[in-house]
Structure 1
């Protein structure tokens, strides 16, 4: 469970609705405080129990480099509506949404795509299907196949308890105690509850099954030729850092390890994360990105 650092929107960040043939998606849009965007835009896609608010701490910094930056709620997540049809929440179906959103945001130019955690499994579908050209691709705290470790156990609890007891039960008995034990402020706890209860139950359970059964598509992704960055916290408790490093090697991708961060670098180390993304995006736009390099920022 990601915990946004703050909920007050910074200057230059505003709520937005992205209209697409696939539906309407709730978003946060960041623009440079002064001047118009001069560089390619970026699309940020959150993880399973997250939302667009997980990127609040990096949006302004990313936009100040001269970009339009959009963070979304995926279908059935928080403020984006979704149907009661499990087929709408597979990685392939959600990947189709990413194609539609990317074309709506930047119909005439490639954009930079970032997928966090389960968002990485969704976004790689859009990259692999080849229908949309991307300026670059970043897998943030995301792995090659099913999630493992403590977050795998949490996902199995979710898939067992939500259909039987409902989301409120999951919040009261698991997520709220974890948040309080971690010292999360009352404001954020209130937001986390509101966000969780707004999610589609069908969407949440289907996406949980997807993250537990995802197949490894690294070799397919490596054939696409999009400049790729693998970025994760040094203490990631989702896909182990060693697994993500190996994935980066297989992709011929740059690999950035964020010191002190766990599974949500944009929340836990926003300035470091924003700096790494901006540098990578600038390099991808100007002359491509060197492959198979590992950086600890």
Structure 2
């Protein structure tokens, strides 16, 4: 399936996006919105988008305000979790089809998605959390706070050692990682890092009363924010087992796109009024 660059014009702004359309002979009229993580972008979903579209879904991934190819304000205060959640709800409204979209959030994107679901549970059919334990450990919060200060005063160049470390583990994506240092707004990284550093409370309990079905997917080697046992504990709060994918780390949708797509499609097929995915796709 072809992935097409596009822009989504919404009530809160205009966002750079990637769109994969389903085949004309198998269009379930279902929509998926994929939310990227901190220091990420819509391109982090490139391996996953065509798989979801091939199963009959209209699949969109977008850049947050100030992230990569989306413009945004120069004030760090404009990048709170609530503001980005408002943007997400506007995006979901702009692409909605017959039913509310299925929502997928990677890492920080899951925290943004959580806030959007709490604000308006009826706007989304389901929520899938990829490598997102709905928890910011104190050590990570402290790192984010220090990083925000460094980026504010010294610029995005201070992130180059971190990006170089990531690029060594995913050399095929090094050009994208480097490009995002130049295209993302400094205010986006400063403001969002501060917001995430402050989000150290209970992020799970307020989500449970929404009754929006939740799926947790993580890589077996991902211990960046949580252990496999902690991912499983979170999943059990929502009445189902976590999906732990082999040979995958934090970027589970990149390391295991087929397995991630299979987990998502099976999850959506369980929901009321769901249209079953094409038999045997994607391969397990």
TM-score by length of structure 1 reads 0.85
Contact 1:90/1:207, CA 8 A, preserved across alignment = yes
1:244 maps to 2:231: yes
Q: Distance in 1 between matches of 2:26 and 2:157?
A: 43
Match of 1:276 in 2: 263
The partner residue of 2:131 within 141, 152, 156 is 141
Say what the alpha-carbon RMSD is for the aligned residues.
2.2
Aligned to 2:155: 166
Aligned to 1:203: 188
Greater displacement, 89-98 / 158-167: 158-167
Q: CA deviation at 1:110?
A: 0.8
| Partner Cα distance (2:170, 2:42) in 1 | 22
How far apart are the structure 1 equivalents of 2:167 and 2:219? 23
Shift in Å, 1:80: 0.8
Q: What are the ranges of 5 or more consecutive residues in structure 1 without an aligned counterpart?
A: 1-10, 289-296
Distance 1:287 1:180 in 2: 39
Q: 101, 122, 128: which is aligned to 1:111?
A: 101
* CA gap 1:246/1:103 in 2 versus in 1, 3 angstroms: same
Distance across 1 between alignment mates of 2:138 and 2:249: 14
Secondary structure at the aligned position of 1:223 is classed as helix
Q: Aligned equivalents of 1:38 and 1:227: distance in 2?
A: 20
* 1:120 paired residue among 110, 116, 130: 110
Q: Is the partner of 2:126 in helix, strand or coil?
A: strand
Distance 1:100 1:180 in 2: 33
SS at match of 1:60: helix
Tell me whether 35-44 or 267-276 shows the greater mean CA deviation: 35-44
- Residues in 1 aligned to 2:260 and 2:137: alpha-carbon distance in whole angstroms: 22
SS at match of 1:22: coil
Shift of 1:157: 5.1
The partner residue of 2:177 within 192, 208, 233 is: 192
Taking the TM superposition and a 5 Å limit, the aligned residue runs for 1:1-297 are 11-35=1-25, 37-106=27-96, 108-130=98-120, 132-147=122-137, 155-156=144-145, 158-171=147-160, 173-176=161-164, 178-179=165-166, 181-182=168-169, 184-185=171-172, 188-214=173-199, 215-240=201-226, 241-286=228-273
Give the deviation of 1:180 after TM superposition: 5.2
Asked whether the 8 Å contact 1:261–1:268 carries over to 2, the reply is yes
User: 1:200, 1:263 → 2: CA distance?
Assistant: 24
TM-score (norm 2): 0.88
List per-residue Cα deviations over 1:169-193 (Å, max 9, x = no partner): 321x3322x14543614xx322211
Which sections of structure 2, spanning at least 5 residues, go unmatched? 276-283
Distance, in Å, in 2 between the alignment partners of 1:142 and 1:71 is 17
The answer to whether the Cα contact below 8 Å between 1:159 and 1:205 also exists between their aligned partners in 2 is: yes
Could you say if the C-alpha distance between residues 119 and 204 of structure 1 is closer, same or farther in structure 2, counting changes exceeding 3 Å?
A: same
